[in-house]
Amino acid sequence: MIKLLLFTSLTVWCVAALLGAAAALTADVCEPDCSSAAVGTNVADPKNCHKFYVCFGEDQPPISLSCPDGQYFKDTATGCTEETDPCENSCKPTGCHSTCDPDLFSDTIVDLMNCSIYYLCSSGNVVGSPGVCPAEKPYYDGTECVETDEKCCSDQCYPYCQDTTSNITDPTDCNNYYSCTVVGPADQTQHFTCPQGSNFDVTVGKCVPGATCNTLCAGSTIPGEGTTTPSSGCVDSMTCSSVGYFAKCSYCQQQYFHCVQAGEEAVVQSCTGTLVFNPGPDYPYCVSPSDCPHKSLF
């Protein structure tokens, strides 16, 4: 279930609970607390330590205000004070490493659409086929496959900057992105649009011509659940005869079937970024469009 919360100077806040994931942020942690505050009391903005709210009772919404430049809101008693060290927000979304680091020869990233999948990177690019966690440890926590979904990054809808050097996707529009200048909630003044014909690719952290539109938040099309009529050469569903990956179409495109157990209905998934699924059964993995159909070297 997705809960939408409105707050001043930023876009819609939505918290998704996927399979009961504990990583979803709860409202009591990330909303201003005016429950017992007298009218006119200032309380912290959990999402932005440089801001605060003025409470007007339980029946009226609080008003968001900013501290003067160079100050942060310490607490109700102190108010805004000089920021000698970078302040921290009390509301912190779970960090999701979903973009390949160009400075690392070997790197691993999560799939924001599927907590069971991860990708290997080299020098800023996805390489090889996606990794899939085994049934006994089905969730990838950013480092390894684990039994619980507490650290799942799937369906992250809140634009939050983990550093000051990267770009992050607009979770509601794959054609837009935010440039991170501070750690914390994405700055609406740093909201930009990709050039025509490009979409933001989370795996490389930039706009890419012809990249597939992967919108993370409400209103997006989850792979396999769209209403688009399948193209000729594709099938809508499949009953699994064995475990593995299988082509959904007879030509190179992004969607494919994932079978986790024989006899069950296959799950439709999608390759990340600009990768497409190889239709040949000898190599059932996502590949670069230039390598599709895939030609084995051996």
pLDDT, mean of residues 204-228? 60
Helix (H, G, I), strand (E, B) or coil at 189: helix
In this prediction, what percent of the chain has a pLDDT beyond 70? 75
For 132, the token pair is 């899939």
Confidence of residue 11 (pLDDT cuts 50, 70, 90): very low
Q: b vs e for 267-283, b when ≥16 Cβ sit within 10 Å of the residue's Cβ? A: bbbbbbbbbbbbbbeeb
107 or 40, higher pLDDT: 40
Which residues, in sequence order, are CB contacts of 198 under 8 Å at separation 6+? 175, 207, 208, 209, 210, 211
Q: Nearest-CA neighbor of 97 among 56, 31, 142, 137? A: 142
Q: Is the pLDDT of residue 56 over 80?
A: yes
For 285, the token pair is 């993995």
Q: Is the pLDDT of residue 78 over 80?
A: yes
Confidence of residue 132 (pLDDT cuts 50, 70, 90): confident
Which residues, in sequence order, are CB contacts of 52 under 8 Å at separation 6+? 42, 43, 44, 45, 64, 65, 67, 73, 79, 80
pLDDT, mean of residues 107-133? 82
Q: Is the pLDDT of residue 16 over 50?
A: no
Residue 72 confidence (pLDDT): 93
Place of tokens 């992004």: 254
For 282, the token pair is 């000898």
Confidence of residue 4 (pLDDT cuts 50, 70, 90): very low
pLDDT, tens digit, 9 for 90 and up, residues 220-250: 332 333 322 223 357 778 888 778 888 887 6
Beta bridge partners of 106: none
Helix (H, G, I), strand (E, B) or coil at 188: helix
Residue 8 confidence (pLDDT): 31
Residue 258 CA to residue 201 CA, distance in Å, equals 23
Residue ranges per structural domain of the chain: 26-82, 93-220, 226-298
Confidence of residue 295 (pLDDT cuts 50, 70, 90): low
Beta bridge partners of 160: 185
